[in-house]
Amino acid sequence: MLAAWRRRIAAWRARVAVLAYLNNGSEGFAVAYARAIVAGLS
């Protein structure tokens, strides 16, 4: 799931500035997911 979002965000970043919101939900994984996505974009 994260890999698909990472690809989408990378494609968007090639054209525009991208801001993303990750809903923390009941499990509280938003920060970990955000870090994983950012690490894959760097």
Contacts 24+ apart (CB under 8 A), 25-34: 33/2
Q: How far apart are CA 28 and CA 13, in angstroms?
A: 26
- Cβ atoms of 2 and 33 closer than 8 Å: yes
Question: Which tokens hold the place of 2?
Answer: 């994260």
pLDDT for residue 26: 81
Higher-confidence residue of 34 and 24: namely: 34
pLDDT tens digits, 2-33: 899 999 999 999 999 999 998 888 888 999 99
pTM of the model: 0.76
- CA 42 centroid distance within chain: 12
